Structure 1
Amino acid sequence: MSPILNQAEPVFTANRFITLQFDPTSELGKKLATVDESVRFKANASTPGMAELISGINQDIFTEKQSPISIENATVDYTGTMKGSSDRLSVSYKVVFTPSISGFTLPSNTSESAGALVDLDWRGFHTSRPLELQVPDIGNMSINYPLSLLQVQFPELAQQLNSSEANEIFQTPLFNFEDIAVPMDRWHFLFDPTGSQASTAGSGYQELGGSRVVSIFSLGESSFREGVMEAKESDASAVIDGTNVEVHASHPPPSGQIQIGGFATVTKSGNSEVAFVTENAPEGTSTATGGFPLQVLLILAGMMAAVSVFVLWKARK
């Protein structure tokens, strides 16, 4: 993200895995064993419901985070799959939300050459809105509630789950990025004066507003200093067509990366965090925290495809 451009395209990816386990000899087991279904679609500004989706998330970010940023446009890439076997139905969700934002560079009394203040609070937004879109050949679908996928493919199954104690699992929003709202002092920090290390690591670095200097904050590697990043799991029971079903949901540990053009130092005021960004680092500044080596960038770059949340800031071209 570039304080100069004051525009960016963060990428949020939400993953969820839900398993329904049942007696393989039951009628339900026989019906679900052969299931192999998927729902995939992309949505953009022309998709009915996208304007309301963007407006709702903007309201939630302002209400929850008091952040001045504004989402001006967005795309959604939704993938939901259902795979049956002899004793279980595995359901997986991957929703990639890419908003175009502006307004994260805050007003300051200092001159532009002295540095800029960048809002960081909104990174961990969440919303409990259904976020419904009108999808061709599918109809009205919530991209935020897991139950919606089953309502599209197996409405009777969805209705029974919705009437059981497993309802909470299937109504838990996918768009919950609160885990990456952990304080920035739990993120690894690397200052790269040339951008060469980030480029070599394949972390997605590109020049930000013409700046080759980059500050990189990464979350996801557990350590004594940063703590342990743990998966979230929950369990519930249901009775479907007279068969007892055990429902298990898992949400992988959070992982993310923020790249800021310039040298960034994070300041906390109350519950808010902002980055003060200058063109270059003060003399004698440490380039990393917590023994953060280049190898960590390589590891984190490889982790991004499999983690629950991936945030990569990049300037709008």
Structure 2
Amino acid sequence: MKLLIIALFVGAVIALGSIAPTFGSAQLEATLEDATGNALAKMTYQRTIWIDYSDGGNLENILSGKNVTVVFSVDSSAVGMKELIQKINSSIASNDSDAYVSDMSLDYVALMTGRDDKMSIDYKIILRPVIENFVIRDYTGTSPALLDVDWRGFGASGPVEIYTPNHGMMEINLPISLFDKYTPEIAMQLKSSDAGELLTKSIMNANGIRDQPIGNWHFLFDPTGIGVDAAQYGFQTGSVISKYTMGESSLREGIQVEKTNEAMFTIDKTYSIKTFEASDNASLDVVGFATRDSGFFGVTPTAPEGYATTSSEEFPAMVLYGMAGMAALGGVAFMLMSMRKLKKEGKNLQQTGIDPTQLTGVQTSSSSGGYQTVRGEAQVKGLEDYNQHQSYYDDKSQVEEKSETESTSTKGSMPKGWKPEK
């Protein structure tokens, strides 16, 4: 019965952890400070695509050995960046947030690598926006500041064209655009095939971060005001930091795994295409002590008096110590149950053979090796005395004695080798 209860508990944990897993391809890092009213953010979008032509065909002839590298960085003055910022602000507004992007830079990397059996295409877009107007209410000394965080899952849908001096006008948000520019002979065929759906999904998508409620994020707080890396983030020494993170597998967030999609498509023959996206994760650093609500943070310069938090979930230290004590008690209970079970089973075991308490030690016979050692032999008590059945050779000398018989002749002996003359 106890084993059944344990098995049900473990099964429940696994089942809860697998409910509604969140997939995505965005990683957000941001620092919020109500005093400045600006949030410095970094959003990274990544995706990898494999096209398999290991069985040969026209794709192998076109893509094998083809290598393309596109790398560039632009700021908000580049052609197309204004339109991209507008798209991102529209995405933020659709999430019921009044925040907006006032300035932004962009880094873009795309690699096409044609191997003998498949081609891999890697996309990476990094946005560094400045977020403004996220402070709903300033701190007054009696009321905490309110910070809006509903802007966190921003992105852009549809084509996004950016001009660069080295590559001209580049569409960066749809994977198929790289084929349009560098392999136009197969781009139209890819679009019209079943692969077209995977190749026309927007790369700049952070819905996973948007859809994960702030209440499920993990909370960390440094109540001491010691910031080892304060200078790195532009903080003054003594600033307390609240950190909210998402992306770790847990009962509340679900299991975070890589998202893959696969499709088969036919051009001159059947090929396969796979897309890979890393799981979403995000980290929001708030200057001050931040408490969370559905879509905003309440922030004060210091933690409330008597507040003690050492790790996530806003658990006070005593609660954590209590949980550790319960875990220790559980371990002790498990050991006692195991010992009790062993003792219970021991009563039903019957010994076979000779009882060790009925054995006694005797000296080893000297007959086997011609000499005796310090080892002994075990003999059962109550049987014949050892001396009555010991080896016959124990009383015999182990060194052979030789004796010469005396001669009875009165004549002298002849020299050795002497023979009478004939």
The reply to whether residue 276 of structure 1 matches residue 310 of structure 2 is no
User: What is aligned with 1:175?
Assistant: 204
Give the 5 Å matches for 1:248-263: 248-263=274-289
1:45–1:75 CA contact under 8 A, matched in 2:
yes
2:152 partner SS: helix
**One-letter code of the match for 1:206?**
Y
2:226–2:240 CA contact under 8 A, matched in 1:
no
Structure with the higher helix share, 1 or 2: 2
Structure of greater relative contact order (alpha carbons < 8 Å, 6+ residues apart): 1
Q: How many residues align?
A: 282
- CA apart distance, 1:260: 0.3
Q: Any gaps of 5 or more consecutive residues in structure 1?
A: 293-317
1:284 partner SS: coil
Give the 5 Å matches for 1:68-217: 68-107=98-137, 111=140, 114-181=143-210, 182-194=212-224, 196=226, 199=229, 206-208=233-235, 212-217=239-244
User: What is aligned with 2:264?
Assistant: 237
Quick one: which of 256, 260, 267 aligns to 2:293?
Answer: 267
User: What is aligned with 2:348?
Assistant: none
2:78–2:163 CA contact under 8 A, matched in 1:
yes
1:65–1:122 CA contact under 8 A, matched in 2:
yes
**One-letter code of the match for 1:99?**
P
Q: Any gaps of 5 or more consecutive residues in structure 2?
A: 1-31, 316-422
**One-letter code of the match for 1:212?**
S
- CA apart distance, 1:117: 0.3
User: What is aligned with 2:250?
Assistant: 223
**One-letter code of the match for 2:179?**
L
- CA apart distance, 1:26: 2.5
Shift of the 205–119 alpha-carbon distance from structure 1 to 2, 3 Å rule, reads: farther
Q: Give the alignment's Cα RMSD to 1 decimal.
A: 2.3
**One-letter code of the match for 2:297?**
A
Task: Please list the CA deviations of residues 136-158 of structure 1 after superposition, one character each: whole Å capped at 9, or x if unmatched.
Answer: 23232222111112222112222
2:197 partner SS: helix
Shift of the 230–274 alpha-carbon distance from structure 1 to 2, 3 Å rule, reads: same
1:186–1:227 CA contact under 8 A, matched in 2:
no
Query: Relative to structure 2, which stretch is displaced further, 129-138 or 244-253?
Result: 129-138
- CA apart distance, 1:277: 0.4
Distance 1:209 1:243 in 2: 63
2:229 partner SS: helix
2:80–2:163 CA contact under 8 A, matched in 1:
yes
Distance 1:207 1:261 in 2: 11
Shift of the 146–196 alpha-carbon distance from structure 1 to 2, 3 Å rule, reads: farther
User: What is aligned with 2:59?
Assistant: 28
Larger Rg: 2
Distance 1:119 1:7 in 2: 12
User: What is aligned with 1:305?
Assistant: none
1:138–1:152 CA contact under 8 A, matched in 2:
no
1:70–1:103 CA contact under 8 A, matched in 2:
yes
Query: Relative to structure 2, which stretch is displaced further, 4-13 or 150-159?
Result: 150-159
TM-score, length-scaled by structure 1: 0.82
1:129 partner SS: coil
Distance 2:203 2:225 in 1: 34
Give the 5 Å matches for 1:41-80: 41-62=72-93, 64-80=94-110
- CA apart distance, 1:46: 2.1
**One-letter code of the match for 2:98?**
P
- CA apart distance, 1:55: 1.6
User: What is aligned with 2:41?
Assistant: 10
User: What is aligned with 1:307?
Assistant: none
1:24–1:86 CA contact under 8 A, matched in 2:
no
- CA apart distance, 1:10: 0.5
User: What is aligned with 2:4?
Assistant: none
- CA apart distance, 1:290: 4.7
Distance 2:258 2:56 in 1: 32
Distance 1:40 1:126 in 2: 21
1:80–1:94 CA contact under 8 A, matched in 2:
yes
Distance 1:46 1:123 in 2: 24
The reply to whether residue 247 of structure 1 matches residue 273 of structure 2 is yes
- Identical pairs, percent: 32
Shift of the 3–74 alpha-carbon distance from structure 1 to 2, 3 Å rule, reads: same
Shift of the 27–127 alpha-carbon distance from structure 1 to 2, 3 Å rule, reads: closer
2:219–2:314 CA contact under 8 A, matched in 1:
no
TM-score, length-scaled by structure 2: 0.62
1:49–1:132 CA contact under 8 A, matched in 2:
yes
